[in-house]
Structure 1
């Protein structure tokens, strides 16, 4: 009897402790929330619309570049896609090193206006180009708009938070990013195949920020009286100083490994799902219970969901869980949080590329999202903490250097590596050549694959499974895992031997 009472008492105590913990977390969160000013919230709203516009096209971009012409794609090779997305997006994240200095000189509000002009015009022009060179050039122009924008908003968040409010503040900022990342593709996916309309929607969304700019109040900054050329010269002088700062340089290189792995979410996963993963289980569920989603984000002819819809679950998970995760890791040292996040991310991203089972893929995306929420916001917070108060925009520009390197390396992985290890279009052509099958010229990718399947006496699904078993495209998961684990181990050694476990 006493044992039962003891168990009952322990159960009650656990419930009381759990409720007390939840109450404490809630009170801590609410108390911090009240400390943010109007500039913080306006900047976050601007970020939301900018990310809505960006991800509205970017989540679809890999399959737009490589997809079949009859589905609105350009049918570029994986290598061409890797060059455009890797180098183009990489330059986007390198330019803030310069544009941060420009913003410090001419003012955040003025440069934001220019950024939105470039952004809007680029979205309108880009779908009118269909050659590799044309698309590449226009994507670089779009990247310029994003590069003018990025350091300003990050600096605004950093300037309107302090040591107490930074963790949740950057968590809110990251949640806004993912609200935009979630709803952007949900809108544009409805019009997949109508390329011009997709880009025009993004143009309209980013143009909403012209209205918000009226209410944006620039945070305090030290006026820069140098000429533009003197400012740019100082940027490169500062780059030399960064290179000489071994600890900071080493940190940037390590974090580049994380971004290389992370960017496969946009560069590789949508293509992998479209080519290999059977999404019929998700399609059937929505068709039976929530037909709106299967009708707008599914392909009725094949009973499959759009690949980008599956990938977009990452953003949904972050919207739901970001504040919880940020609150949990609020008191963690940034480096510890990054190590944990990078490890979980590496496992999750690798597993998304390991199977044809869409339910397994969704679980892996959830695992990836948890790691992303724990690790990614802490990178910006870490650099924001060590940046001098009068150089926030400039130092936030340096925070994009590992993202620049990560995009370039990610382009190589999703281009040459994916093209050699996992591209279904390459494998089917090898199979056709091996069997001596003759097919008509001028076929789109989908027509070619269907014709090849018919010649072999198979359905397209059966041919996909044959290629999966024969060529083992899922082996690319090992490449992603090794990259992620290398970043985790390097960050652990950095923390232990370079930073020696210091609070930062």
Structure 2
């Protein structure tokens, strides 16, 4: 404890400014991203855009794919022009883009607007991480990044909760919230951020960017690294379903009024905080359990998994994630969905940090930073695949409106096309009327007839397959003698 207190006291003001800016940036990002799946696909008569799930997958998957590749370019930019200038430009781009996004109502315009948010975020990411690194010493860096990781999740917890309340007033307020967070960060950097000491990069910018791409290609020639990154793509594909697909699944199939009533009867203040005026709980509010549990339990989980080798901890954590994802999508019961999210969160706490640790441990000492830079690649590709699964795959197998269209067609009942003048909500209401059912009865009928929860098998199977491949990877690397010497020594000592 004394070491922790001493470390905290030793951090300069810029360290705390960087962490505060990270909190507001994550607040802005997750506040919007947590509701984006619902906003993009929601009914137009409720102020949403009414996109298809395929279009949603294209926007969310495509942009986040680009986002995780852009730091390869933005890193050299910040080294060239300085951290403070880069952050100011980043906040201006993100603030303006968040504000503009609320005015875009077509797939292409929203994609372009969101692309600018991604570019601003890509400028931000490497600079904030580098600031934390440069304002901590070798002795205080571990605790410093632990605090940094905590601020990430605090921002991820607060953002969706605030967005949930604001969208009940108007969707526009969600975009105002994210833009306002960037204004706060602009004030913080102007008045409180001091450029940390660093080596100036006088190399031509194009040379720096070209060298960054060349170094990544050079790193990927290491087959140990390349195979690991390919396998871990499966983890991120499964992981992202919680943010891309689960919000739509909850919105369409889960009767969250049961959860609201439980809170109202047993913990009334929580019903007020987390519930809506309609007596339900929004999907993003349920999803915030992921961030909140990480803030509370990450230290305990990290302490527990310290006894395991990183690769084994990763495999265990991914299996737990797969279990959580399976439970979350298996039923329309809101309590099981929450349980699934909570289980998933514990798996994330055990696996995600260990992946970063394992990448660092396999890297040659002179290439540690280079190898760590490649850790963004599986996340990028995983987001792209998630976009398809959350889009075309979900729409075909689990989208309530799509399944209803199949049902009405099978009964030869003519229905108007959904368009700007006839929303998806109106389509559902009319179908229920023609089938002489209430909306609740029709939802249950579609659930029983088409089993939209069957997608849990696919999502969980991706996680299980990832673990099997990691297990095979471990055996193969040992047989080929590609494990590090110290790993062999540890194995011999255990034996």
Maintained 8 Å contact 1:118/1:145: yes
Moved more, 284-293 or 363-372: 284-293
Structure 2, unpaired ranges of 5+ = 488-495
> Which residue of 2 is the match for residue 14 of structure 1?
none
Note if 1:488 corresponds to 2:467. Answer: yes
Maintained 8 Å contact 1:100/1:397: no
CA distance in 1, matches of 2:126, 2:5: 28
| Deviations 1:201-259 (CA, angstroms, capped at 9, x unpaired) | 11111221223324334444332211111111112211321221222222222222111
| SS of equivalent to 2:102 | helix
Which of 111, 117, 124 is equivalent to 1:142? 117
CA distance in 1, matches of 2:275, 2:111: 30
Which of 330, 344, 349 is equivalent to 1:373? 349
Structure 1 residues 357-436: aligned runs within 5 Å:
357-383=333-359, 396-436=372-412
- Seen in structure 2, the aligned counterparts of structure 1 residues 246 and 106 have a Cα distance that, compared at 3 Å, is farther
Note if 1:212 corresponds to 2:191. Answer: no
CA distance in 2, matches of 1:92, 1:285: 40
CA distance in 2, matches of 1:373, 1:436: 50
Maintained 8 Å contact 2:305/2:350: yes
| Deviations 1:136-157 (CA, angstroms, capped at 9, x unpaired) | 1111111101111112223334
| Deviations 1:333-377 (CA, angstroms, capped at 9, x unpaired) | 433332222221121112211101111111111110101112212
> Which residue of 2 is the match for residue 243 of structure 1?
220
- Seen in structure 2, the aligned counterparts of structure 1 residues 34 and 395 have a Cα distance that, compared at 3 Å, is farther
Note if 1:179 corresponds to 2:154. Answer: yes
> Which residue of 2 is the match for residue 19 of structure 1?
none
> Which residue of 1 is the match for residue 493 of structure 2?
none
CA distance in 1, matches of 2:45, 2:127: 40
Note if 1:105 corresponds to 2:84. Answer: no
| Deviations 1:430-468 (CA, angstroms, capped at 9, x unpaired) | 111222223455321122112211221211111111111
Structure 1 residues 55-204: aligned runs within 5 Å:
55-159=30-134, 168-192=143-167, 194-204=170-180
> Which residue of 1 is the match for residue 429 of structure 2?
450
CA distance in 2, matches of 1:130, 1:179: 31
CA distance in 2, matches of 1:105, 1:142: 21
Give the drift of 1:87.
0.7
CA distance in 2, matches of 1:105, 1:393: 18
| Deviations 1:100-132 (CA, angstroms, capped at 9, x unpaired) | 122222222221121111111111111111001
Moved more, 407-416 or 444-453: 444-453
TM superposition score normalised by structure 2: 0.89
TM superposition score normalised by structure 1: 0.87
CA distance in 2, matches of 1:152, 1:492: 35
> Which residue of 2 is the match for residue 340 of structure 1?
316
CA distance in 2, matches of 1:158, 1:453: 58
CA distance in 1, matches of 2:301, 2:270: 28
> Which residue of 1 is the match for residue 445 of structure 2?
466
Moved more, 399-408 or 155-164: 155-164
Structure 1, unpaired ranges of 5+ = 1-25
- Seen in structure 2, the aligned counterparts of structure 1 residues 290 and 440 have a Cα distance that, compared at 3 Å, is farther
> Which residue of 2 is the match for residue 18 of structure 1?
none
CA distance in 2, matches of 1:488, 1:168: 30
Note if 1:222 corresponds to 2:194. Answer: no
Which of 23, 42, 54 is equivalent to 2:17? 42
| Deviations 1:252-277 (CA, angstroms, capped at 9, x unpaired) | 22222111111111100100111111
Note if 1:309 corresponds to 2:285. Answer: yes
> Which residue of 1 is the match for residue 483 of structure 2?
500
- Seen in structure 2, the aligned counterparts of structure 1 residues 406 and 427 have a Cα distance that, compared at 3 Å, is same
Give the drift of 1:387.
7.0
Note if 1:54 corresponds to 2:29. Answer: yes
Which of 251, 263, 283 is equivalent to 1:286? 263
Give the drift of 1:173.
2.5
- Seen in structure 2, the aligned counterparts of structure 1 residues 272 and 360 have a Cα distance that, compared at 3 Å, is same
Give the drift of 1:167.
5.3
Moved more, 318-327 or 466-475: 318-327
Give the drift of 1:293.
5.1
Maintained 8 Å contact 1:97/1:398: no
Moved more, 455-464 or 492-501: 492-501
Give the drift of 1:396.
4.9
Maintained 8 Å contact 1:259/1:402: yes
RMSD (Å), alpha carbons: 2.7
Maintained 8 Å contact 1:349/1:365: yes
- Seen in structure 2, the aligned counterparts of structure 1 residues 186 and 298 have a Cα distance that, compared at 3 Å, is same
Note if 1:328 corresponds to 2:304. Answer: yes
| SS of equivalent to 2:296 | helix
| SS of equivalent to 2:98 | helix
